[in-house]
Amino acid sequence: MNTGDDRIRALAAARWRIAIALSGAVFLLYFGFIFAVAFAQGLMAREVAPGLSVGILAGALVIVGAWLTTWVYVRWANLHFDRQRGAIDGDGQAG
């Protein structure tokens, strides 16, 4: 096995780790919300300001959290993944 294949395998493994970590984060965020809705109804009903309950705030934060995790991934992929991929590609063609 040449080094190109090793580097592809390492890059695939790195991508897999990021994908699983971020999927896990979204999973915890959303099911944290669902479980709070199901089992902590008193807390969710509390109003932090007149008209703004913890539940509504949490729902909006789930959407913002989903945005943030996609942003984190796209940033990692654009900066790190694409550069490594380009490096493997360049070496492959040179050699």
| Binding residues vs other proteins (CB under 8 A) | 5, 8-9, 11-12, 15-16, 18-20, 22-23, 26-27, 29-31, 33-35, 37-39, 41, 44-45, 47, 49-53, 55-56, 59-60, 62-64, 66-67, 69-71, 73-74, 77-78, 82, 85, 88-89
CB of 34 to other proteins, least distance (A): 5
Reading the block at residue 23, the tokens are: 């999927």
How many residues are given for the chain? 95
Rounded CA gap, 63 and 6, in Å?
Answer: 38
Minimal distance, residue 95 CB to other proteins, in Å: 15
Asked whether the beta carbons of 64 and 30 are under 8 A apart, the reply is no
